[in-house]
Every structure is written in C-alpha cells, then in structure tokens.
Amino acid sequence: MPTINRHELVSIVIPTYNEQETIVEVLKCVIDDVGDPVEVIVVDDDSPDETYRIVTAMGDERIKVVRRIYTRGLASAINRGVIESRGEIVGWMDADISMPSSKLPIMIDHLKDHDIVIGSRYVEGGHDERPFFRVATSRLINGLATFVLGHGIKDYDSGFIVMRRQVLDQVSIMPTGYGSFFIEFIYACCKKGLSVYEVPYTLIDRSKGTSKSAPSTWHFLLTGMEYVFRIFAARLRRID
C-alpha cells in the first residue's frame, strides 16, 4: 500500500448533542494532536445547550459547524459529517472526552499498511473503564459480533476510526440508529476485502454531561437489543 503523506488533509467528524461542557477541550485536543492540515466537522443536532454556538465562537477556520434542525441521530450525523468533509483521510469519534485524541496520530500512521484503523478496547493493551454493567454488556455484544460476523475484529462497535477516503467509494454508511451502524459498516468493509487494523486504547467513562446511549437502564437495554438485531441482519444481508 502507498505511504501516508502527512501533507494530506485529515477530516475528523464529531457528532454533538448537549456537549457544551466538553466540546472546546475535545476540539483543541484533536487539532493539537493531529496537527495541520486538519479539519474538524462538528455536526450538532440543534442542542438545547447551544453547543453549536460555543463551537462557532471559537472562530477557528479549521472547524466547520453543521447545525441540523429537523434531523436527529448519531449515525445520520456522522454520515452528514463525512459528506461535508474534504480530507483524503476521514475519521470520527465521540465528543465526551472518553476517546483519547492522542491516539489519532498512531491510528493515522497505520494507514500506511491498512485501509481502516479502529481504536479498540478489546485487543491486547486496550481497556474499558466504564461501570461494570456497561463493560459486561459491551463485551457480550462484541463477543457475539465476533462470533457471528468473524474476520477477527474484537471491537465491532468501537465508534473510533480513521480510514482512507477511497473506502467510502466501496462501502456506504447506513445512516440509521445509534452505534450499531458501526458494526454493519466494519463488517461490510471486511466483506469487501478491505484491511482493518485495531489499535488498543483505553475508554474512560464520561465525567461531564449525560450519556446518550444510556440515559436510563431501559433505554440502554433497548439499545443493546438493537445491536443484537443488527448483528444478525448484517450477517444475513447480501453485500455486493
């Protein structure tokens, strides 16, 4: 594979909803850690706390804000951000400081040898430091995904990723649901014969704001059921 030229633009998409407490820190860290040339696309679902205004007020031309008024959802927000991006290297991550942007340069460097690089909690050296119930549930879902979908992927619902833009010419993001779209995307990439590599990282629990995936136990369980359904749906779906 060709060597990554760090004169290439890197685009990082960050979806937001009520992230005023963390967004400035996250954006500064991403820009500092990745280095120029870089652009960050913040896709905000019309946050009541006006996250989009805080980002706009930063006045950094490397940051683009997309405020969505009538559309909601993580998968569709990431898809919109990818559409708006211009980089030869494209990725996305959360806005809650749970994922270390310091890992991005390492992940980008591995694109010298791979098409897609995932930040992984479950390969050797990775850790998940959230509460026990969330970790146990995540491990069960990922164990099921690894068993049903195969290809040796340990963190099928990572949500922390960089890739060559050409990947998106072969595999589209299904812009529905929450994090389960990531499982389908990675599986489709593997089925297409694209090279996927996992870099270990430590996921920490958010210390500010409210979790979007688990605002309540009932919502968390419903989200888990969606993940299970989409694992089997991905396995059964024909990928051309």
**Domain assignment of residue 151, yes or no:** yes
**Domain assignment of residue 1, yes or no:** no
**Domain assignment of residue 73, yes or no:** yes
Per-residue pLDDT of the chain (240 residues; tens, 9 = 90+): 445 566 899 999 999 999 999 999 999 999 999 999 999 999 999 999 999 999 999 999 999 999 999 899 999 999 999 999 999 999 999 999 999 999 999 999 999 999 999 999 999 999 999 999 889 988 999 999 999 999 999 999 999 999 999 999 999 999 988 888 999 999 999 999 999 999 999 999 866 555 555 555 656 677 778 888 889 988 887 665
Instruction: Domain of residue 99: give its range.
Output: 10-236
In this prediction the pTM is 0.90
**Domain assignment of residue 2, yes or no:** no
pLDDT for res 159:
95
**Domain assignment of residue 14, yes or no:** yes
User: Which tokens hold the place of 118?
Assistant: 């995932």
**Domain assignment of residue 205, yes or no:** yes
Task: Give the integer Cα–Cα distance in Å for 46 and 69.
Answer: 5
Overall domain count for the chain = 1
**Domain assignment of residue 55, yes or no:** yes
Q: What residues form DSSP beta bridges with 64? A: 41
CATH of the domain at 136: 3.90.550.10
**Domain assignment of residue 183, yes or no:** yes
